[in-house]
């Protein structure tokens, strides 16, 4: 990262118009607060309700933490920049933003893959579920997912910032790697392109694993004699499959589309979809089809409501 002397800061050219910046400030603030509230509710429900102390909800807890981290790595900075009308971000700030954002995005892929394996064992090998998915094994899987994501983020960060930049204007609302690579002065960015191709291969391998896993899951579900049993088995699979499909589609659109020299509204929309909308919708997707989550959330909200009422009517 020796090129810090040539580019000391970057300019986020998401919107140069003050009126649009205010509009984006309001929009991103609403999206961010909604995402934070939804994922904190999921985390609190899983931690406080002992009925949710199982491998499925342990990984859902990790996924909620990941969603919180990914949006917090990029949105607060843009919100502050929009309200202050200051679209600059320092070189070191851009490095940190890339590191943390791609750390959390990478952990999303790893956690979704582990969750697919959890559902496979639960449905296809239910008698071995408690043995295979014990507490130690779940902790090791989660730690491995986070560690692999961190190594992936370090690889991409070093690859991206190992090249000198000829411009400091980033046509995005955060330091996104494809936009940064367009600023490279030389062909040395091929190092990062190699890292991108490697990550695509890993992601594709995870995606194939998830597809194969669900083929076996649906085959096993089709053999369940009772309709109630089939419905119960699918209840925990459909939200996960929906999240995987939504994330995979938006990431493919964001990173596999043909490169363009000029930014477009479609590029910005696709980036918002995978970086902001997915973390916001994940808690909603998991809670809509899951009775245990809905029950835990209702208990949590009822508990908070009763505590507020007790505080209001407490004699002074």
pLDDT at 60: 93
pLDDT averages per 10-residue partition of the chain, 316 residues: 64 74 87 94 90 91 95 93 86 95 93 94 92 94 95 89 86 87 71 70 88 93 86 84 87 70 70 89 83 81 62 49
CATH number for the domain running over 2-308: 1.20.1070.10
Is the Cβ–Cβ distance between 71 and 276 less than 8 Å? yes
How far, in Å, are 16, 82, 94 from residue 20 at the CA level? 8, 9, 23
Q: Which residues neighbour 24 within 8 Å (Cβ) at sequence distance 6 or greater?
A: 14, 15, 78, 82, 173
pLDDT at 166: 85
| Residue whose entry in the numeric block shows the structure tokens 């990062």 | 192
Q: Which value, in Å, is the radius of gyration of the alpha carbons in the chain?
A: 22
pTM, full prediction: 0.87
- The CB density around residue 223, as the number of other CB atoms within 10 Å, is 7
pLDDT at 259: 57
At 28 the three-state DSSP class reads helix
DSSP letter string, 214-274: HHHHHHHHHT-SSHHHHHHHHHTTHHHHHHHHHHHHHHHHHHSSPP-SS--HHHHHHHHII
pLDDT at 309: 52
Q: Indicate the pairing of strand 9-12 with strand 88-90.
A: antiparallel
pLDDT at 189: 55
pLDDT at 293: 83
């Amino acid at each position: 990262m020796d090129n810090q002397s040539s580019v000391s800061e970057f300019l986020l050219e998401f919107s140069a118009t003050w009126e649009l910046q205010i509009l984006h400030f309001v929009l991103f603030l609403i999206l961010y607060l909604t995402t934070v509230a939804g994922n904190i509710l999921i985390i609190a429900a899983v931690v406080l309700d002992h009925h949710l102390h199982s491998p499925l909800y342990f990984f859902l807890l990790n996924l909620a933490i990941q969603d919180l981290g990914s949006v917090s790595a990029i949105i607060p900075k843009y919100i502050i920049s929009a309200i202050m009308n200051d679209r600059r971000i320092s070189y070191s700030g851009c490095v940190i933003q890339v590191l943390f954002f791609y750390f959390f995005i990478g952990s999303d892929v790893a956690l979704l893959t582990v969750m697919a394996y959890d559902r496979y064992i639960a449905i296809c090998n239910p008698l071995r579920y408690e043995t295979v998915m014990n507490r130690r094994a779940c902790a090791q899987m989660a730690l491995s997912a986070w560690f692999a994501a961190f190594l992936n983020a370090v690889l991409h960060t070093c690859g991206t910032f190992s090249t000198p930049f000829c411009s400091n204007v980033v046509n995005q609302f955060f330091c996104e790697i494809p936009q940064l690579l367009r600023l490279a002065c030389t062909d040395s960015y091929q190092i990062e392109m190699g890292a991108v191709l490697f990550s695509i291969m890993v992601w594709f391998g995870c995606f194939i694993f998830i597809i194969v896993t669900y083929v076996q899951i649906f085959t096993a579900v089709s053999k369940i004699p009772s309709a109630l049993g089939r419905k119960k088995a699918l209840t925990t699979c459909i939200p996960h499959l929906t999240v995987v499909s939504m994330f995979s589609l938006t990431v493919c659109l964001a990173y596999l589309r043909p490169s363009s020299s000029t930014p477009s509204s479609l590029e910005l929309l696709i980036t918002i979809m995978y970086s902001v909308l997915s973390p916001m919708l994940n808690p909603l997707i998991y809670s809509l089809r899951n009775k245990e989550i809905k029950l835990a959330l209702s208990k949590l909200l009822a508990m908070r409501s009763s505590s507020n009422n007790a505080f209001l009517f407490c004699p002074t």
